[in-house]
Amino acid sequence: MAMVDVEAIVKELRGTYASGKTNKYEWRVSQLKALLKIAEHHEKEIIDALKSDLSKPEFEAFVHEISMMKTACKLALKELKRWMKPEKVRTSLTTFPSSAEIVPEPLGVVLVISAWNYPFLLSLDPVIGAIAAGNAVVLKPSEIAPATSLVIAKLLGEYMDATAIRVVEGAVPETTALLEQKWDKIFYTGNGKVGRIVMAAAAKNLTPVVLELGGKSPVVVDSNINFKVAVRRIIAGKWGCNNGQACIAPDYIVTTKENVPKLLDAMKHELEKFYGKDPLQSGDLSRIVNANHFHRLSKLLDDNKVVDKVVHGGQRDENNLKIAPTILLDVPEDSLIMKEEIFGPLLPIITVTKVEDAMQFINAREKPLAAYLFTSNKKLEKEFVMNISAGGLLINDTTLHLALSSLPFGGVGESGMGSYHGRFSFEAFSHKKAVLHRSFGGEVGARYPPYTPGKMRFLKALLNGNILGLIRALFGW
């Protein structure tokens, strides 16, 4: 298959953007409505593609991908007028008489590079923000989820304005060609290794980036809690999110030694209730995306430092790329599983002497995308919020903060930069332009040469906000 002419696509989109078409409110609305139609009219096709790529359960495909994309679309349509409206701001005596405002404007032609784990949502959620903000967009879906990539390319080709919104499918050569172009913003979802490549390419043109990365998201479990509820919520966030292949899935648990028996009992009991005695046969667990990732996860499990640490699960089926929910206890800090983001169904438990020590353990590592705490202790909760730096925090649950459009979603440090969702998506793809309006009145002679001692007194009084000094300077006292 011949490679698409990326340069020509960008040139065409630049022409469309220059015409002012994408800046119009009506155009933005028409494209958001078209995206909504895609989700509403092609649900089965999207679910089938996700099944093919990840054997994602229909429930997860609908709730986590289709429904969330529709919600984002509807919110943008409802709020767009308000988001686009210039924001009036106060002026000062220095610029009197004047008015000032902050005017959001689109950035131009933007590139969205998406991930394979939530290939529908993570492709279109940023695109919603880019369109709402009035940009022309090129979307590069992940080739690791080929069925979903194909469906997205086909549907956007049918429904969207092709002069302003394009999908470029492909692998490394296409991504490389795209990164060689000049963009007005690049939005990348994926891992830190590729994130660095994206940022290096962006630096050549001083292109701003949003990097939605991952990291080892910890779960701290205190003793004074409802274990059954806590465990169900941990399972939902870990194995109920694409079998652990999610950027905000719990990566490891930190708890006290005394807590372990209760925690483990509850986890084993609930896991069996959710996924049966043979989880490899469960239709409610996604498979590992491909053989490479299956081998990567197998390597973490076969590391001789953790082989004897598996306390639950561990079954694997290489032919069907299935790995059962697996819990490991007391893994050494220098084991492979604690050195990289797991991104799969393995969950290590680290024990500490007292629950407060968990914070030191987390802070000694890179900043995660999410951090979770289960506790009834308000003091501990407060300390956790004050002392743990992560993209987002959630107390007494996992992953749900992602669903709240009033919260920005994004990382910090190694877990990424920039954020989106709701209004934050609009802002991620906008420039806030400062505008000051003045009339021809209100001339102050003291601004201009020659700079006399009298003018100096006047300006000093003005700039220091000294009204009495101002009157004295005006009258030359």
- pLDDT-derived band at 470 (thresholds 50, 70, 90) equals confident
Q: 0.85 cut: is pTM over it?
A: yes
> Which amino acid makes up residue 128?
I
Known catalytic membership, residue 247:
yes
- pLDDT at residue 474, rounded to an integer: 74
- pLDDT at residue 2, rounded to an integer: 65
Kindly write down the DSSP assignment for every residue of 244-277, as one continuous string: G-STTS--EEEEEGGGHHHHHHHHHHHHHHHH-S
The tens digit of pLDDT for each residue in 369-423 reads 999 999 999 999 999 999 999 999 999 999 999 999 999 999 999 999 999 999 9
With beta carbons less than 8 A apart as the criterion, state whether 469 and 457 touch: yes
- pLDDT at residue 3, rounded to an integer: 79
- pLDDT at residue 472, rounded to an integer: 81
Burial 22-61 (b: 16+ CB within 10 A, else e): beeeebbbebbebbbebbeebbeebbbbbbebbbbbeebb
Q: Sign of the CA dihedral 261, 264, 267, 272?
A: negative
> Helix, strand, coil % (nearest 5) of the chain?
50, 20, 35
With beta carbons less than 8 A apart as the criterion, state whether 448 and 435 touch: no
- pLDDT-derived band at 254 (thresholds 50, 70, 90) equals very high
The tens digit of pLDDT for each residue in 441-455 reads 888 888 899 999 988
The tens digit of pLDDT for each residue in 56-88 reads 999 999 999 999 999 999 999 999 999 999 999
Q: How far apart are CA 242 and CA 116, in angstroms?
A: 11
Whether the upstream peptide bond of residue 450 has omega within 30° of 0, thus cis, is yes
- pLDDT at residue 1, rounded to an integer: 55
Catalytic residue among 60, 169, 212, 341: 212
Catalytic residue among 73, 169, 241, 247: 247
Q: How far apart are CA 184 and CA 194, in angstroms?
A: 19
Q: ∠334-335-340 over CA atoms, to 5°? A: 95
The tens digit of pLDDT for each residue in 43-56 reads 999 999 999 999 99
Q: Which phi and psi (to 5°) does residue 452 adopt? A: -95, 160
- pLDDT at residue 276, rounded to an integer: 96
Known catalytic membership, residue 241:
no
